[in-house]
Structure 1
Amino acid sequence: MAVIAAFVVNAALNLALGLLIAQVLGPADFGRFALGTAGAVALNTLVFEWLRLSATRFYSERVRHAEPWIRGMLDRAYLATALGLVGAAILALAGRSRLGDPALLAAAAAAAAIGLGLFDYAAALARARFDGGLYLRLVLIKNGLTLPLMVGTALATKDAAAVMLAGGLSQFLAAALVRRAFADPPIAHDTARRRDSLRLFMGYGLPIVAANLVYQLMPFANRWAIAAGAGFAEAGYFSLAADIGGRIFSTLGAALDLLLFQIAVLAAETHGHEAGEEQVARNGAVVLALILPSAAGFWAVAPALEAIAVPEAYRGHFVHYTLLLLPGLVALALMNFALNPIFQIRRRTSPLIAAGVIGALVNLVAALALAGSFGPSGIAAAQSLGFLAALLFLAWRALTGPQRLRLPWRDLTAVALATAVMTAAVLPLRGLDPWLALPACMAAGGLVYGALVWWFDIAGLRSAVMARFGRGVPAAQGRAASP
């Protein structure tokens, strides 16, 4: 329940934060902020992500006591990487006199990546320990700092780089304030074991990092292409739709992944490899059962959301770009939270690189083909095509061949049909006045889809709820999550 509460808080505040920053900075400066933030996220992925992934895969409450050198290696690697980023930020600042604003944005991105990396590491440790209360406290502190620091800095400076620094600082402080709760007992230095751990982490995590970096660089390059061809204001319109949609699906997927992947790791650790793969298959059905109706619901309420909450300068552009980007955002979420865990549980992560390369190539070719006729809209469509191509390749690798994953096709079909029924139910409500359409679509969609899920026990969600609240057994032990 603590993880669910953290998700709700984080999703709501992230949505509000994105809209507030866009309102204060305006389209052009928000375009610069979005480009710099995309760079910070890509940098965080490049230098920290393999360590975070290793923490979620190889660290646990058992490992904390039985193999303490693993945590020691993680801590040392994080410290060395953070110091390297400090040096990179200083070098970027030194080049400001020659390069101007791009150097300042690069320095801010390097500094912000330190805060992002430390917060993600702390969240990964809480996740690996199944400590939902600690994770909730971390998220609440982060959001309690992020809103006033970032919005206050935006109001005071109107400067994209300064707002990025405020965001990184808020995440750094959140992790620092709860550092004692994450502490492990001190251990003696063991060079050989830490060296072995480092090799294990790199072999496991670097292919995932390479793929994720490609997925970060695709939107980054697309934003630069739009800014170069149509100006920073157009990049700002594109970025607001991409950021709001991306935050919704990444936050939803991450909230599921916080629990589901650790359950699969635990199943593999206690009952063997086959049990871990079976759990991953069930987890995929749960992910689809929440991502797909969320996408349909977001599409349904996008016009009302634009009229009510989106700053006036972005209206007309938000819905347009959202509709073009939505298929790609859904594909990316399904890759990250339904398909990637298949290869992670097997510790065979190299196919993720191939999927990323295919996605990037499709994005590039489609952008070159479409941008001339459709301008920035063509680049947005190309991004979705790239993510869809990567999804199809990864699904083909996971679901074919002698080691193919056995998916619960009954649940997947039921999710698709229930989502279609829900969409049909809310479609007539889209044309209402925005203040009526938004709550009406949300209420009708939630009731219709929820009733179908409950009646047919889609993805075992009813069983999980009954197990959690009906008999006092943790939800993870219900049909949706049982090994």
Structure 2
Amino acid sequence: MAVIAAFVINAGLNFVLGLLIAKLLGPADFGRFALATTGAIVLNTVLFEWLRLSATRFYSGRVRVDEPWIRHGLDRAYLRIGLLLLAAAALCGAFGFAGGADGREAVLCGTGLAALGIGVFDYHAALARARFDGKLYLGLVAVKNVLSFALMAAAAWWLPQPAWVLAAAGLSQLLAVLLLRHPLRDPHTPFERPRLSATWRVFARYGLPLIAANTAYQCLAFVNRGAIASHAGFAEAGYFALAADVTARAMTTLGTALDLLLFQLAVQAEEQSGRAAAEAQVAANAGTVFALLAPCAVGFWAVLPALQGLVVPDAYRGPFETYSTVLMPGLFCLSMMFYALNPVFQIRRRTLPVVAAALVGLAVNGAGLLILPDRMGGIGVALAQTAGLAAAGLWLGWRALTGAERIVLPWGEIGVAALACAAMGLALAPFRHLPPATALAVLVPAGTALYGALVWIFDIAGLRRQVLARLRPARTLAAEQGSRPQAGAFAAAPHRKPAR
């Protein structure tokens, strides 16, 4: 649970930091910063994501002791790619900052440093999660957040150019890993060079299709922000960027937090009981993900006017709510792909369908960009993005849920969760346009209480059972769980060493 708590705290602080940076930079510079940040994420995805994904799939507490060449291969791949990226960023900086931090080369330098920091931090955070070391993960996230808040806010205040804020973002994440480098290390073992190439091939076969898909989605966001900038200017791109970033966090924060634990449980189930047990765990995880993400989406829609009135900077109000409403369905589809459908193919180590789904999304988004912006302006770009992500989700769902190897989801639990979300939305709708502070005071507790009561009454996705299991004595828990897949984020992770 420390892993989930740390991630939620991290996401909340990033949300506050994003609003602060937007206020300090202003819409135009924030539009440039957001575009460069998206570029940094794309760069990180292309260069490092295949290794981070391999860490979550192949590294564990057992592997840390029994198969040290896995960590050796990860470390050396990160070192080589990181040095190349650092050299490229330094070259851009030599040409850029000498002529002023507002130049293109300076922004490219900052983008490279941000990508390097994100990649190194995410890798070490993944290692801590794979070891189920919640204390270490919590410490890593806490140090990173303190440094990010201090360095990025200071850069935006004293040196209000996107390049400096990007460089501060990368530096803060690198420093967090450096400060905690000792607990992040594995026991010293001899390096087996003959295993290195074979280990990298395993990582590439597993991870490259996934990063191709992730890169496609990041490129989709990058292209859409560029399309708005070209049609309506950087200020409009800033409006779109803030709405997209906040809505994406609302849709993905809890999903990512759940995935940090749930996918590792599926990997652990495979180590202990085989592929069938792992797929059963993935199916149970999907029910849990839907039962927790769907009410988050409905709740975000309900509080959106109040959120705009209370925390969104004045310059962004109006466009923020409009863009967020249009983007929300597509981003929910993206979240379900990432946290409910992608794990089906990850656990099978056959990840090419994930790439195909991303290409479907890009094609539909591209077709929308050819038609909608000229007729509808920036909202047309948002509609194109939503259509593309929905098409990708439908295609990937069709691949996962049909055919000889189709996975069987807990449809009854998913259906009950959907009905509970609809009931919550209908109950909250009349209160959406109260004064912002009053609306939040009414909507948040009312929505939580209503959905929580429905979860408790109908045991949606087994969440009531999981809560009760956590509260009962260990003997009762062991007797009741037996061999049943762990259905939720509240399930205790087994700690025994698997048979070899």
Partners of 1:420 and 1:128 in 2: how far apart?
Answer: 36
Secondary structure of 1:377's counterpart equals helix
Secondary structure of 1:404's counterpart equals coil
Offset from partner CA, 1:35-69 (integer Å, 9 cap, x none): 01000000000000000000000000111111101
Partners of 1:191 and 1:11 in 2: how far apart?
Answer: 39
Cα–Cα, structure 1 residues 100 and 162, in superposed 2: closer, same or farther, change >3 Å? closer
Write the mapping of 1:50-449 to structure 2, written as runs, cut at 5 A: 50-93=50-93, 96=96, 101-449=103-451
Deviates more, 1:411-420 or 1:190-199: 190-199
Secondary structure of 1:190's counterpart equals coil
Aligned length: 483
Partners of 1:52 and 1:479 in 2: how far apart?
Answer: 25
Offset from partner CA, 1:90-146 (integer Å, 9 cap, x none): 333355469972322221111111110111011100111011111111111111111
Partners of 2:472 and 2:425 in 1: how far apart?
Answer: 31
Give the Å deviation of 1:190: 1.3
Deviates more, 1:246-255 or 1:440-449: 246-255
Deviates more, 1:16-25 or 1:93-102: 93-102
Secondary structure of 1:289's counterpart equals helix
Give the Å deviation of 1:477: 7.2
Deviates more, 1:426-435 or 1:93-102: 93-102
Offset from partner CA, 1:440-472 (integer Å, 9 cap, x none): 111111000011111111111111111112335
Structure 1, unmatched stretches of 5+, are none
Q: Which amino acid aligns with 1:104?
A: A
User: Counterpart in 1 of 2:497?
Assistant: none
Partners of 2:87 and 2:388 in 1: how far apart?
Answer: 34
Instruction: Indicate if the aligned counterparts of 2:148 and 2:172 stay in contact, CA closer than 8 A.
Output: yes
Cα–Cα, structure 1 residues 203 and 478, in superposed 2: closer, same or farther, change >3 Å? closer
Instruction: Indicate if the aligned counterparts of 2:90 and 2:109 stay in contact, CA closer than 8 A.
Output: yes
Secondary structure of 1:74's counterpart equals helix
Offset from partner CA, 1:249-284 (integer Å, 9 cap, x none): 332111101100000000111101000000000101
Partners of 2:102 and 2:27 in 1: how far apart?
Answer: 20
Q: Which amino acid aligns with 1:136?
A: L
Secondary structure of 2:404's counterpart equals coil
Q: Which amino acid aligns with 1:273?
A: R
Secondary structure of 2:240's counterpart equals helix
Partners of 1:189 and 1:146 in 2: how far apart?
Answer: 34
Instruction: Indicate if the aligned counterparts of 2:220 and 2:365 stay in contact, CA closer than 8 A.
Output: yes
Cα–Cα, structure 1 residues 356 and 479, in superposed 2: closer, same or farther, change >3 Å? closer
Give the Å deviation of 1:147: 1.1
Deviates more, 1:463-472 or 1:322-331: 463-472
User: Counterpart in 2 of 1:13?
Assistant: 13
Q: Which amino acid aligns with 2:392?
A: A
Q: Which amino acid aligns with 1:334?
A: M
Offset from partner CA, 1:210-238 (integer Å, 9 cap, x none): 00000001011111111112111000000
Secondary structure of 1:45's counterpart equals helix
Partners of 2:75 and 2:378 in 1: how far apart?
Answer: 43
Q: Which amino acid aligns with 1:415?
A: A
User: Counterpart in 1 of 2:498?
Assistant: none
Cα–Cα, structure 1 residues 16 and 281, in superposed 2: closer, same or farther, change >3 Å? same
- Alignment equivalent of 1:462, drawn from 461, 464, 480: 464
Q: Which amino acid aligns with 2:104?
A: P
User: Counterpart in 1 of 2:29?
Assistant: 29
Secondary structure of 1:307's counterpart equals helix
Partners of 1:92 and 1:353 in 2: how far apart?
Answer: 32
Give the Å deviation of 1:479: 4.5
TM-score (norm 1): 0.97
Q: Which amino acid aligns with 1:215?
A: Y
Instruction: Indicate if the aligned counterparts of 1:301 and 1:430 stay in contact, CA closer than 8 A.
Output: yes
TM-score (norm 2): 0.94
Give the Å deviation of 1:157: 1.1
Partners of 2:352 and 2:299 in 1: how far apart?
Answer: 34
Q: Which amino acid aligns with 1:63?
A: V
Structure 2, unmatched stretches of 5+, are 495-500
Cα–Cα, structure 1 residues 399 and 324, in superposed 2: closer, same or farther, change >3 Å? same
Partners of 1:392 and 1:125 in 2: how far apart?
Answer: 32
RMSD: 1.8
Instruction: Indicate if the aligned counterparts of 2:3 and 2:129 stay in contact, CA closer than 8 A.
Output: no
Partners of 2:248 and 2:405 in 1: how far apart?
Answer: 32
Identical residues among aligned pairs (%): 54
Instruction: Indicate if the aligned counterparts of 2:31 and 2:241 stay in contact, CA closer than 8 A.
Output: yes
Instruction: Indicate if the aligned counterparts of 1:48 and 1:117 stay in contact, CA closer than 8 A.
Output: yes
Partners of 2:360 and 2:87 in 1: how far apart?
Answer: 34
